[in-house]
Chains A and B, each alone.
Chain A
Amino acid sequence: MSAILTIARREVLSFFVSPIAYVVATVWLLFFGIVFFWLALMFTQQPPSANTNLIQSFFGGTMLFYLPLLVFSPVLTMRLLAEERSQGTIETLLTAPVTETQIVLGKYLAALSFWVVLWLPTLFYVWIAASTGEDVLDYGAVASTYLGVFCLGVQYMAVGLFMSAVARNQIVAAMLTFLVLGGLFIVGLGTYTSTGDSMRAVFEYVGLWTQMAAFAKGIVDTRHLAFDLSLTVLALYLTVRVLKTNRGQ
């Protein structure tokens, strides 16, 4: 455990001294700030509806929530292992008395921390919505919304870490992550186009939009949690395998 924390701590430190952290954080906050502003503007011009509220729409109600995440997530994870390899530091890391699993978990923990830190400022939006909104905010739904956001991070960061282990360099790692996450997202959109009931059930199961929309309404579906968890475990397991087989190459 101590080795995992040591690795995670170094990763977080290095991330937050790199310009990339500040570029991502700035663009991230700017983008979600604008989206929140638009949505708030829209809600003030509409009569309040029982079906939806501002926070619900912000998290998972629109395409504007997912598209940037598909771009931001690869940027958060691309360095993790690809940079160790390109800098050669993977050699000192793999010859330290730590296992591949500890390395992968340390890196993963660091990536999850980036994710959480980047979402923290959005609590401010919740405060704005709560203090100015006409309807009373359902804090249970807010909690499940954040659980949904966290679950999204849990799988996105795991996929990104795996791609960072596979790819030759950071750019390729980012591209591959984007392709996989984007692919999953598009498959999920099948929910809205497919006609067959069984097909729609499958799409709903893997679809992130349906998942986020449900979480934002306060519905925590264990099928979604099971999907997130299995995708994460698979990605982390594969990352460990890749590290083991790629030793010294």
Chain B
Amino acid sequence: MIQVEQLVKRYGERIAVAGISFRIEPGEVVGFLGPNGAGKSTTLRMLTGYLPPTSGTIKIGGIDALSDPIGARRQIGYLPESVPLYREMRVEEYLRYRARLKGVARAQVSKRVDESLQLATITDVRKRIIGQLSKGYRSRVGIADALVADPPLLVLDEPTAGLDPNQIRQVRDLVRSMAGKKTVILSTHILPEVESSCSRVLIINQGQIVGEGAPGELRSAGQGAQVFTLEGRGDRERFESVLKAVDGVKAIIDVAAMEGDGLRIRIDAAAGPVDERIFSAVAAAGLVLRGLKREQASLEDVFAALTTREPDVSAEPEAKAEPEAKAGEKS
């Protein structure tokens, strides 16, 4: 459905998107994940034809978006990040206008508007003036607009930003219900969103794709390192010295005192059967071990690892500060 090759967007000296390539197959729900300022919105704006790319190619449903922009845009329902709407119009009036603008046949307009109102669950506010609606309703009006011409591809730029938890769930359910029927690409910096609704994730940072795969795959990719939580009883200093001596233990992250003289210790360890070695070392030292558990690496850890990683290990120290500096900018 989408084929992007070596897409670059440059604003003078600043490179917003630094040559990214990816493919999205029909029916996929793909999450575009990255910190603020990573280039998510810029990429989506190039896909939808709002921004002309500096270089690279974009194909939407086999149509070259740069040589036939109108043909490509016909296939896209787009929800911009800021959800721009004409505040003075009524919801239904606005959707009818958008449907006509997107070339929906006159006879089909009413049917399409009704359907999109239903899908976005805003049928109850169809006669209301958009400017008087709450933010949650307004963003669903934006979603209804994306759906109104029944396009094969939906591009949703942070569709759940500013919504309350109930509304977020509704939007996620809606996105999930599209799986298989439509191709969806949504951007977000909220991880549970990706885990709950996407079949594939593209992680973007500093204008480049730094990770790609199903949410599950990415999670296991992040398990090169592991974190154990140990619960035991005994002298704290003895525990620490015994653990530090175990082969594979990199550091003690923190130690928390529990009821009585119980302790909970979190251990940062290298890959491998370090848990077995910890077990026998603690037992040999005569300390009491109540439990030893490996924490599952969350997508959050993967994300943090991928997006804060230095571009080059041998690079000069400034490289480290760069991700933080960019995080403040808006994409």
CB within 8 Å of B: which residues of A?
A: 2-3, 6-7, 9-10, 13-14, 17-18, 87-99, 247-248
Does B145 belong to the interface (CB within 8 Å)?
Answer: yes
The answer to whether B50 touches A14, judged by C-beta atoms less than 8 angstroms apart, is no
With the chains together, A87 CA to B85 CA distance in Å? 8
A97 and B102 contacting across the interface, CB-CB below 8 Å: yes
> Do A94 and B49 have beta carbons less than 8 Å apart?
yes
Q: How far is the CA of A87 from the CA of B94 in the complex (A)?
A: 15
Inter-chain CA distance A248–B42, complex, in Å, is 9
Contacts of A13 in B (CB 8 A): 89, 93
Kindly state whether residue B279 has any CB partner on chain A within 8 Å. no
- Specify which chain B residues have a CB less than 8 angstroms from the CB of A93 in the assembled complex: 101
Known: A6-B97, A247-B51, A248-B52. A95 touches B73 (CB 8 A): yes
- Does A91 contact B73, Cβ atoms closer than 8 Å? no
13 A-B pairs with CB atoms under 8 Å apart are A7-B101, A10-B86, A13-B89, A87-B84, A87-B87, A88-B80, A91-B50, A92-B78, A92-B85, A95-B50, A95-B76, A98-B70, A247-B52
* Complex CA–CA separation, A93 to B73 (angstroms): 11
- Minimum CB–CB distance from A225 to chain B (whole Å) comes to 33
| B87 x A247 contact (CB < 8 A) | no
> Do the beta carbons of B84 and A98 come within 8 Å of each other?
no
Output the nearest chain B residue to A244 by Cβ-Cβ distance: B52
B89 A14 Cβ-Cβ under 8 A:
yes
User: Cβ of B101 and Cβ of A248 under 8 Å apart?
Assistant: no
Shortest A18–chain B CB gap in Å is 6
**Contacts A6-B100, A88-B84, A94-B50; A248 near B73 (Cβ below 8 A):** no
Whole-angstrom CA separation of A92 from B73 in the bound complex: 11
Interchain nearest-CB distance for B97 vs A (Å): 5
Q: Let me know if A2 and B70 touch, CB within 8 A.
A: no
Taking CB atoms, residues of chain A closer than 8 Å to B101 are 3, 6-7, 93, 96-98
Complex: A88 Cα to B79 Cα, angstroms: 12
Interface residues of B in 27-51 (CB under 8 A from A): 45, 48-51
Minimum CB–CB distance for A7 against chain B, Å: 7
**B189-234 contacts to A (CB < 8 Å):** none
| Shortest Cβ distance from residue B35 to the other chain A in the assembled complex, whole angstroms | 21
